[in-house]
Amino acid sequence: MLHSRATLLRVFVPMFAVFSMLAGCDAASTGGEASRPAAELIVLTPHSSAITNAFSVGFSRSYYARHKQAVAVHFIQRGTPQCVAYLDSAFGAAGESGSRVPDVMFGGGIVDHRYLKERGYSRKLDIAAAVKDIPETVAGLPTRDADGHWYGTGLSSFGIFYNAAACAARGIEPPKTWADLGDPRFAGWIGVADPNVSGSTRECLALIAQSMGWEPGWTLITEILANARGISRSSSEALDGVESGIFLASFAVNFEGLRRASRAPDRFAYVNPMGATAVSPDVISVMNTRGATAIAKEFVEYVLSAEGQLIWAGNAAQNPAGEDPLFHYAIVPQVIEGEAAKLAVAENPFKTDFGIQFDLARSERETRVLRPLIAALCEGSHIPLQMAWRDAIVAGRAARDRWPSVVSPPLKAADLTAVAEKLGPIGSESERALRAEWAAYFVKQLKSPQITGQDG
């Protein structure tokens, strides 16, 4: 659903009230400056409330210090793929530039923001001074668009968040690798978010496919899905399930997994599957609208400033909202090296070998296919998939060795490029048609799975 600015003001009026009070306190000695009309900024983001709260408070204070005027920062929160779909709808409804389009998209990966540029949704931003200390590439990936349409604001890796206490209580060895999530010991205990909604799930699946190859990667993905109790509506819901003990483990972006684990380190943990994960930029773009372009530019510059980078990477004392650290990696090397005592994560992403350097073209191709492919499998055949996997586990190792033939994908690695090019956006006619075709394929495939024989 699209939101007009008037609607957003009604929805977020409590947040604006907080910022107004903050500004009012500062303005008390300056002749009532806070009574001036507030500026506003609308930010579309996949980030959690912990992140939006920190940057809202930090940027609002910084903006008031510079302009002696309050700014109301409103956030529209969606999963990364849903943020992109939101902009498709917003620009489609409002034309090239309209009041219903957010000013900024804060978060998501390079592939998402390249798409925004290609569609004409984002605008060029000249912030050379703000990025002068940031390397042009990190782990083989660009940190900014050559034309200035998007910029990396921080770095993140992807891994596994798990309930260590619940694993121990059940006598289950905790997961350390992607393959562990598909192990029979976790049957019924894995949480997986819908990759059509969750950007972190999408990235983890892409890492599995890239590290193992398409067919072997798909086999592991189906084992993980078969171990999943169900498909959660968001990554937050899946991670909440791990914390409550409904699941034992789930995919996670590192900063979210580390933040949750820090609250109860005796119960929860996060792990990077070393040698099989990657570090990549968390990206921001300013939208091509008639909105608050100058304020949007200041917001981007603030996130990239030393103060903003310490909000991302710093300990609790650096969080202006007075909450937990965000456990992100800074993207400015000088912040990591010069402010080490203030950081929440000691690991230096510029010096750590995570194992994989993202192949952007390959990742885009595979994730574009994986989203509808997984939807086709899980929406109509998740229970048959679980049952076939249960039968394979009961039948023993020989039956599990036959699993790839039971769940073979409806396309080979050589077909990925052609199929990805044929697929339109989520919900498009071409995507729906292919999804229906694949759903029928999986129904037929899982009707009589060849799980036979017994062994030890």
* Residue 104 reports pLDDT greater than 70: yes
Helix/strand/coil (H, E, C) string of the chain? CCCCHHHHHHHCHHHHHHHHHHHHHHHHHHCCHHHCCCEEEEEEECCCHHHHHHHHHHHHHHHHHHHCCCEEEEEEECCHHHHHHHHHHHHHHHCCCCCCCCCEEECCCHHHHHHHHHCCCECCCCCHHHHCCCCCEECCEECECCCCCCEEEEEEEEEEEEEHHHHHHCCCCCCCCHHHHCCHHHCCCEEEECCCCCHHHHHHHHHHHHHHCHHHHHHHHHHHHHHEEEEECCHHHHHHHHHHCCCCEEEEEHHHHHHHHHHCCCCEEEECCCCCECEEEEEEEEECCCCCHHHHHHHHHHHHCHHHHHHHHECHHHCCCCCCCCCCEECCHHHHHHCHHHECCCCCCCCCCCECCCCHHHHHHHHHHHHHHHHHHHHHHHHHHHHHHHHHHHHCHHHHHCHHHHCCCCCCHHHHHHHHHHCCCCCCHHHHHHHHHHHHHHHHHHHCCCCCCCCC
Least confident of 64-73, 82-91, 393-402, 417-426: 417-426
- pLDDT on residue 24: 36
> Percentage of the chain surpassing pLDDT 90?
77
pLDDT band of 347, cuts 50, 70, 90: very high
CA 202 to chain centre: 8
pLDDT band at 313 (very low <50, low <70, confident <90, very high): very high
List pLDDT tens digits, range 197-217: 999 999 999 999 999 999 999
Q: Which CATH class is domain 5-133+284-305+318-324?
A: alpha beta
Q: How confident is the model at residue 283 (pLDDT cuts 50, 70, 90)?
A: very high
Q: What is the pLDDT of residue 31?
A: 36
> How high is the pLDDT of residue 8?
39
Q: What is the pTM of this model?
A: 0.87
pLDDT tens digits, residue range 396-435?
A: 999 999 999 999 999 999 999 999 998 877 778 889 999 9
Rounded average pLDDT over 56-70 = 97
Mean residue pLDDT of the chain comes to: 88
Mean pLDDT within 263-270: 97
Residue 293 has pLDDT above 50, yes or no: yes
* Six-digit token string for 351: 């010096």
- Residue 101: pLDDT band by 50, 70, 90 thresholds? confident
What pLDDT is attached to residue 452?
53
Instruction: Average the pLDDT over 70-78 and give the result.
Output: 96
Residue ranges covered by each domain of the chain: 5-133+284-305+318-324, 361-456
> What pLDDT score does 424 carry?
76
Of the chain, the percentage scoring pLDDT greater than 70 comes to: 88
Residue-wise pLDDT tens digits, 215-228: 999 999 999 999 99
Token pair, residue 334, equals: 């000088």
pLDDT of res. 448: 66
Query: Is the model's pLDDT at 273 over the cut of 80?
Result: yes
- For range 135-156, the mean pLDDT: 96
pLDDT at 276 over 80: yes
Asked if the model's pLDDT at residue 22 lies above 60, the reply is: no
- pLDDT of 5 higher than 50: no
Assess whether pLDDT exceeds 60 at residue 36: no
